[in-house]
């Protein structure tokens, strides 16, 4: 436990550079992070937001990635609760697991990378077995976003996805704003417009471990999800189209329970996902109540999730295996050493007419909001 806390403090240390014009909050703790350079002819930097409680979040405009997120534990010590890398080079590796990234044009999977819109068929990149995952080979996670605003509390990013990029129709203009409040809330606001009909499903792929980014497995975390149903999947993790009740299954988190309680149960859905990797159908998503709450018994840190999205993908880090040796501080992130709660529309919605639509038409504006709020148990 001592090692975990000491390393977390190191990762969360280092002041942000303050400038009177509030145009740059790039970190100066280069001994910790080396995330500067040029990709596709565009400059990449790291930006830090801070609040009055000492919490801070470092975000790079390469993929809009959350690189570190430091919040106080029950002893008031800052703990970095997201997995990631120390260097830009590591984020560019083939097959990296989307650590902290903005995901688009379509988060999650689309069956066989195909859909039809307004009578026209489209073929997307096939980058996940027989399916498309997270926008294809070079989705938003691998793009350099333009920085529209950067100050102590807010980072506003924009990206223009050209017609045909990844196989998707329409030129899509996207704005994403990160805000860190004095209530220890990380707010993410997504907006987008298109010049012709397309499909869109934006999210963030932060990997959380409230024990600390290099802490024990997240199987000891307590999790609550306000969802009476989930979308079961086939062997390629594409939804079957059914909305299955969670009651009486390992997917029932309507009362908080330890994640590890049922994760290895003899259940075909868990076998398909090698654990939890499923979309939960939220009972409500009006931003009034948290749709999910997760907490660590080790640090006392808890996180509430609020969203306007109809679903959340709970992923229990099943494909992390410790083979990746260049996590922050040289950590090899092991099996189930993090969880994701990706707020979203449902996977494969363009091919599932009974699911909430993900079609965005010219003249419409896509807007969605998600907040991760961090608290400490008394």
Catalytic residue list: 205, 342
Asked if residue 232 lies in contact with residue 270, where contact means CB atoms within 8 angstroms, the answer is: no
Residue whose entry in the numeric block shows the structure tokens 């027989």: 130
> What is the enclosing helix (H) or strand (E) of 79?
strand 78-80
Report cis status (omega within 30 of 0) of the bond before 105: yes
Cα angle for residues 233, 238, 243 (degrees, 5° grid): 45
Can you give the three-state secondary structure of the chain, one letter per residue? CHHHHHHHHHHHCCCECCCCCCCCCEECCCCCCECCEEECCEEECEEEEECCCCCEEEEECECCCEEEEEEECCCCCEEECECCECEHHHHCCCCCCCCCCEECCECCEEHHHEEEECCEEEECCCCECCEEECCCCCCHHHCECEEEEECCCEEEEEEEECCCHHHCCCCEEEEEEEEECCCCEEEEEEEEEECCCEECECEECCCECCCCCCCCCHHHCEEEECCCEEECECCCCCECCCCEECCCCCCCCCCCEEHHHCCCCCCHHHHHHCCCEEEEECCCCCCCCCCEEEECCCCCEEEEEEECCCEEEEECCCCCCCCCCCEHHHECCCCCCCEEEEEECCCCHHHCCCCCCCEECCCCCEEEEEEEEEEECC
Structure tokens given for 75? 């002893």
Backbone φ, ψ for residue 47 (5° rounding): -120, 140
Say how far apart CA 325 and CA 68 lie, in whole Å.
Answer: 17
């Amino acid at each position: 436990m001592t090692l975990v806390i000491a390393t977390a403090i190191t990762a969360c240390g280092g002041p942000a550079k303050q400038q009177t014009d509030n145009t740059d909050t790039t970190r100066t703790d280069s001994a910790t992070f080396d995330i500067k350079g040029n990709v596709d002819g565009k400059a990449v930097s790291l930006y830090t937001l801070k609040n009055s409680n000492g919490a801070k979040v470092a975000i790079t405009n390469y993929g809009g990635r959350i690189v570190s997120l430091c919040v106080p534990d029950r002893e008031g010590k800052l703990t970095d609760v997201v997995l990631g890398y120390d260097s830009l080079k590591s984020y560019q590796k083939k097959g990296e697991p989307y650590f902290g990234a903005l995901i688009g044009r379509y988060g999650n999977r689309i069956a066989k990378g195909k859909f039809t819109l307004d009578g026209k068929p489209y073929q997307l990149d096939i980058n996940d077995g027989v399916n498309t995952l997270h926008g294809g080979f070079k989705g938003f996670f691998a793009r350099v976003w333009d920085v529209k605003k950067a100050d102590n509390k807010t980072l506003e990013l924009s990206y223009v996805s050209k017609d045909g990029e990844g196989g998707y129709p329409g030129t899509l203009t996207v704005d994403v704003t990160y805000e860190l409040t004095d209530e220890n809330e990380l707010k993410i606001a997504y907006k987008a417009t298109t010049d012709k009909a397309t499909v869109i499903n934006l999210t963030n792929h932060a990997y959380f471990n409230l024990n600390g980014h290099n802490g024990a497995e997240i199987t000891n975390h307590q999790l609550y999800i306000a969802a009476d149903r989930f979308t079961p999947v086939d062997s390629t993790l594409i939804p079957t189209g059914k909305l299955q009740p969670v009651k009486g299954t390992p997917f029932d988190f309507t009362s908080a329970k330890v994640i590890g309680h049922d994760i290895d149960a003899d259940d075909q859905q868990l076998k398909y996902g090698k654990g939890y990797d499923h979309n939960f159908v939220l009972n409500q998503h009006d931003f009034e109540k948290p749709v999910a709450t997760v907490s660590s018994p080790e640090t006392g840190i808890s996180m509430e999730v609020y969203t306007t999205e109809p679903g959340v993908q709970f992923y229990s880090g099943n494909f992390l295996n410790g083979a990746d040796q260049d996590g922050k501080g040289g950590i090899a992130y092991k099996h189930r050493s993090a969880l994701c709660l990706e707020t979203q529309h449902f996977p494969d919605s363009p091919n599932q007419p009974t699911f909430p639509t993900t079609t965005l038409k010219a003249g419409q504006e896509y807007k969605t909001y998600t907040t991760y709020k961090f608290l400490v148990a008394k």
